[in-house]
Amino acid sequence: MMLKLPKDFIMGGASAAYQVEGATKEDGKGKVLWDDYLEKQGRFSPDPAADFYHKYDEDLALSEKYGVQAIRVSIAWSRIFPNGTTDKLEPRGVEYYHKLFASCKKHHIIPFVTLHHFDTPLKLHEIGDWLSPVMLDSFVDYAKYCFKEFPEVKYWITINEPTSMAIQQHVSGTFPPGEKDRFDKAFQAEHNQNVAHARIVNAYKNMNLGGQIGVVHALQTVYPFSDSPADKHAAKLQDAFENRLYLDGTLAGKYSSETISLVKEILDANNQPMFKSTEEEMKELDKAAHQLDFVGVNNYFSKWIKAYDGDSETVHNGTGAKGTSVSRLHGIGEERKPDGIETTDWDWSIYPKGMHDILMRIHDEYPLVPATYVTENGIGLKESLPSNATDDTIIDDPKRIDYLRKYFAAIIDAINDGANVKGYFIWSLQDQFSWTNGYSKRYGLFFVDFPTQKRYVKKSAYWFKKLSETHELED
């Protein structure tokens, strides 16, 4: 059977500045939280990544050729303001993004531009990152500067995945500063990001620039491992921990009483204090939710949660050794996949129904949201260049095509069920480095040979082009 995407559905590719640009020491860029941290870890370097700082025009030309109509890029805050604060402006950084957006225009590609994608300037990270009021004020100043400076951008995204940032910084410890089990800090950082997001949405709307503004969330669909009341409750707690505080804060403009009581339950179980919010902040959240233009959904996998009352224990699979990840959170629950669920080498479940269910949830539970984009989805695979490769070598990636076909079918199902999904961005446009996994976890439509940064096309790019041109998904 032939499944169809709506006529005006946008087909895009996604990236993040720090994962593709490289050039971390070039043209006056300030340090970010990752630079020294990665150097100390010694596992991999953010330079030259995919060398997008120099190769953007080549990637955009390839994108145009393979049916990519829009791209998600992020602005590296510390290229514009090296210290994060507006006291010092770096004109070469500003110039770079003007050139990047001009190249988008030349190649008929719409930029969706994220203001913060995990790359807090080091000076602000050192004083508390999302826990510091100075960070919030500086972020608003930087955002307003960008809105004025780059009128060519018509789609803005405030923050990429506030959840991932807060949890990985303060609970699982996989992002700098690498803290574990500080649920209180994670929830406070989540609330603060909701506030920063709201202030920026409200500022943007006051400026009347005629573009659109949204936010991007990491949304894992959470299911109970079994029908037992204990597992069902554990799944609710996990959902509150990962999804609900953001969804409520940015899409409804208020936290429901159930969300608050679930959050409190988690914190009480861990003997940690509730996050603080003010009435004024809640008014800002409410105002922003009523003016938001779209939400971006990043969905790769789903989770199944089982009741658990032991100590917290998390192990990150950062190498692609299947079956090595562990997540047991005290006061929440334990991740456990039911038999028969397919997984990637990094233990991410392949479960397209989860995409359908999360899109429907936004449609059903958050009626203020005018439009949804899938802003990230894709599969990380171990891929290599054949030793006899020539310029025309095409990388065969049948697993990616299979994954995409299944997830697109789920998206079309959701659209047919009433979800207003207006576009899709594959993670990722080109191979780039993964924050906690390095260069071996490849997601791109375009293969990057990391020592030389030369591009090769993957078969999935041909598949993507056909879908982009026909909007028809073959079974």
Mind telling me the catalytic residues?
Answer: 376
Question: Closer CB to ligand BGP, residue 308 or residue 373?
Answer: 373
Q: Pick the closer one to ligand BGP by CB: 17 or 267.
A: 17
Q: How far is the CB of 367 from ligand BGP (least distance, A)?
A: 26
438 beta partners: 434
Nearest CB to ligand BGP, comparing residues 185 and 442: 442
Min dist CB 189 to ligand BGP, Å, is 16
Q: Two tokens at 23?
A: 């050039």
Q: Is the Cβ–Cβ distance between 448 and 431 less than 8 Å?
A: yes
Shortest Å distance, C-beta 16 to ligand BGP: 5
Q: Is 49 helix (H, G, I), strand (E, B) or coil?
A: coil
CB closer to ligand BGP out of 6 and 178: 178
What does DSSP say about strands 70-74 and 221-224: parallel, antiparallel, or unpaired?
Answer: unpaired
Q: How far is the CB of 79 from ligand BGP (least distance, A)?
A: 17
Three-class SS state of 54: helix
Say whether 70 sits in a helix, a strand or coil.
strand
DSSP code string of 375-433: EE----B-----TT--TT-EE--HHHHHHHHHHHHHHHHHHHTT--EEEEEEE-SB---
With respect to ligand BGP, which residue has the nearer C-beta, 20 or 196? 20
Give the residue from 284, 244, 271 showing the smallest Cα distance to 260.
Answer: 244
- Report the nearest approach of ligand BGP to the CB of residue 441 (Å): 5
- The least distance separating ligand BGP from the CB of residue 118, rounded to whole angstroms, comes to 6
Backbone phi and psi for residue 113, each to the nearest 5 degrees, phi listed first: -110, 120
Positions touching ligand BGP (CB under 6 A) are 16, 19, 160-161, 164, 218, 298, 376, 380, 427, 434-437, 441
Closer Cβ to ligand BGP, 220 or 468, answer by number: 220
Classify residue 25 as exposed, middle or buried by CB count within 10 Å of its CB (0-12, 13-18, 19+).
Answer: exposed
DSSP secondary structure code for residue 127 in this structure:
T
Report the candidate in 419, 413, 401, 416 with the shortest Cα–Cα distance to residue 467. 401
Positive or negative: CA dihedral 221, 226, 229, 234: negative
Is 115 in contact with 143 (CB distance < 8 Å)?
yes
Rounded CA separation 26/22 (Å): 9
- 166 or 307: CB nearest ligand BGP: 166
Closer CB to ligand BGP, 83 or 343, in the complex: 343
For 269-295, give one letter per residue: b (16+ CB within 10 A) or e: ebebeebebeeebbebbeebbebbbbb
* In the complex, residue closest to ligand BGP by CB: 434
CA 436 distance to own-chain centroid:
14
Find the length of the chain. 475
Q: Rounded to the nearest whole angstrom, what is the least distance from the CB of residue 377 to ligand BGP in the complex?
A: 10
Per-residue tokens: 195? 């506030």
Q: How far is the CB of 435 from ligand BGP (least distance, A)?
A: 6
User: What are residue 121's DSSP bridge partners?
Assistant: 32
CB 109 within 8 A of CB 68: yes
